[in-house]
Chains A and B, each alone.
Chain A
Amino acid sequence: MLQFLQLIASGIAQGCIYGLIALGFVLIYKATETINFAQGDLMMLGGFLGLTGTLALGLPFWAAFAAALVAMLFFGMALERAVLRPLLGQPAFTVVMVTIGIGYLARGLVTMIPEWGTDTHVLPVPYKDDIVSIGGTDGLILSMEHIVIIAVTALLIVGLYLLFKHTKIGIAMQATSQNQLAAFYMGIPVRRINMLVWGLSAAISACAGLLLAPITFVHANMGFIGLKAFPAAVVGGFGSIPGALVGGLIIGVVETLAGFYLPEGFKDIAAYIVVLVMLAVKPNGLFGENLRKKV
């Protein structure tokens, strides 16, 4: 039983990471109806920026963390302005292909940057190897890395909730995602909002990267984890922000359990089996809306 709880706890932590990346997918999807295949690679860039912040610049960890988020916010906005805005109004397939290209570029260029390269790096975090035990020495043992992941994710969610509910920008983002044209006519600067959404999405991914770094290390291909965040977004119902998080948690927990109880190999494909089952049972995901084209 204790072991089961232990697995659930680490599954939830892993799920938070998936949830955060999925959140990045969903934000961009809601705003532009395209999928950003470079989401995982943005996460990887966040990890590397954190690395530079702490090691090369000697910043304290949380300062480097914040700096990396801000840097990625601007990077995401710049990306939107330079590459994606010219494609506004093109079919989703075109935009998806361009994000795949950005992913290739990111993975390639990162290895060319001195200090980053193709190596695997350790991001030094102040809470490394700390553990917390609940219920005495033979009770539930939680690693600090997991606790930080869960706590930061929770904070971020509260922050996003406040942003969308109570700020002008957040409400403008919501309006834009529901009806771009109407939002435009109401005087909302749709392009600038899209740019902000990309920035926000990049920053959230970077956050996932920095949280994940103590567990998986930082390397050029760490972004491929984004491919598991995809199923998370679908399970939650693409286009739903709480759905992304719940989907991430489901995938994280199922994956961890599958890794322990099922034969080798099932851990890696657990996420995909879950998503196929979901598509067969409830194609619009847990929180998705059922929409049909009008004629």
Chain B
Amino acid sequence: MRFLFKTHYDQDVRLFRHGGQVFWYGLLLAALFVAPWLLPDYYVSQLVFIWIYAIAAIGLMILVGFTGQVSLGHAAFLAMGAYTEAYLHQHGWPFALSLTFSALVAGITGIIVGLPALRVKGMYLAIATLAFGFIVEEGVARAESITGGNAGKAIGSLEVFGLPIDSEQRFYYLSLFVLVLVVIGVMNLLRSPTGRAFVAIRDSEISAQSMGINLARYKTIAFALSAAVAGIAGALYAHKLRYLSPDQFTFLQSIELLIILVIGGVGSIYGAIFGAAFWIAVQQFIVLAKDWLPPAIAQQTGLQPTVFGLILVAFVLFEPMGLYGRWLKIRTFFQLFPFYRKGLFRRQKSYMKSERLK
């Protein structure tokens, strides 16, 4: 075990807790930097999907994992970001500007979607966001002059500060760069009053407001930021796919993002990234497995939803803290070896916590 002797408050505030962390994260970043040169294009392309999904999942994590508000309509924010980016790109805006603007548009949509959150919570909020999701989906399909409607919309090639992003490698670096920026931004929030206000609202609204936190304001900020980050992911997604149609932003897409959070572990940035990586990997694995499995199973169109369902149910039942929780357990096991107890992370059984106590 590592013991930290803090001699300055600054050590509490820093992004990295100790030199070891700086080293390992540096190594990770270096590995990710050389990866596109070593891997075949196909895998680089899959990694890009992981980065984009991770950004979207971090967006949702701000809302669900940190602020404790539910959203069943996050695909709508992806759609807002993606279509804004596609539209602005078509009209010749430079990427840095159009990306910012896409985030802004998605963020403003987030504020509107978040309005019900000021009055209702839990399941009512879930249904309000679900409703908004469907309305945006339908709106995208109908606004043919901007979105191309159900026929879809193609997006031209991308150029960033004069550099054409014409290969998988270049797009890989671009999306990784955006992901790192998003991660740093969210970590900054979490170590500052705004992030703590989010967590306070998640854990107890009553005492959050008694501590001087304006619930309406912070819920709105959480919705706006969450939607803006999802919008950034949407904008990258648009360039990655080069073709947008409304059926990419359905209710099931919103649900997929939630599943990613559960698999990765709700309540941490690691969770969002682990979950996204796992999710993309599973889809690839299903594609690969189809070659080995007997055709009777491999041909089934129901294979993918069955696997998704199994994974989700298994995670909730057996690893409710997600992949990040599993990682924590493994790490603790080695740190405490041989004193690790099996019950160390056991969930406490609580009697049903009722929100409807009078």
Contact = CB atoms under 8 A, between A and B. Distances in A.
Interface of A: 29, 32-33, 35, 83, 86-94, 96-98, 100-112, 118, 180-181, 220, 227, 230-231, 234, 238, 265, 268-269, 271-273, 275-276, 279-280, 283, 289, 291-295
B355 A268 contact: no
Contacts of A276: 116, 128, 131-132, 135
Contacts of A89: 349-353
Nearest to B317: A86
Given A89-B352, A230-B127, A276-B128, A283 B120 contact: yes
Contacts, number: 154
B130 interface: yes
A29 B126 CA distance: 14
Given A100-B255, A234-B127, A276-B116, A111 B302 contact: yes
B95 interface: no
A219 to B, nearest CB: 12
Chain A, interface SS category: helix
Nearest to A295: B206
A101 B355 contact: no
23 contacts: A35-B126, A88-B352, A89-B349, A89-B353, A93-B70, A96-B126, A100-B255, A101-B312, A104-B308, A104-B312, A105-B309, A106-B309, A112-B302, A180-B351, A265-B141, A272-B130, A275-B127, A279-B127, A283-B119, A291-B358, A292-B358, A293-B355, A293-B357
Contact of B313 (A83, A111, A275): A83
A291 B356 contact: yes
Nearest to A92: B122
B306 A105 contact: yes
B145 interface: no
Contacts of B316: 87, 94, 97-98, 101
Given A89-B349, A93-B64, A111-B302, 16 more contacts: A100-B312, A107-B305, A108-B302, A112-B297, A112-B303, A227-B130, A231-B127, A234-B124, A272-B135, A275-B127, A276-B116, A279-B124, A283-B124, A291-B357, A291-B358, A292-B358
A279 B320 contact: no
A33 B352 contact: yes
B135 A273 contact: yes
Contacts of B142: 265
Interface string B335-358: 000000000000101111111111
Given A87-B317, A104-B306, A112-B302, A97 B312 contact: yes
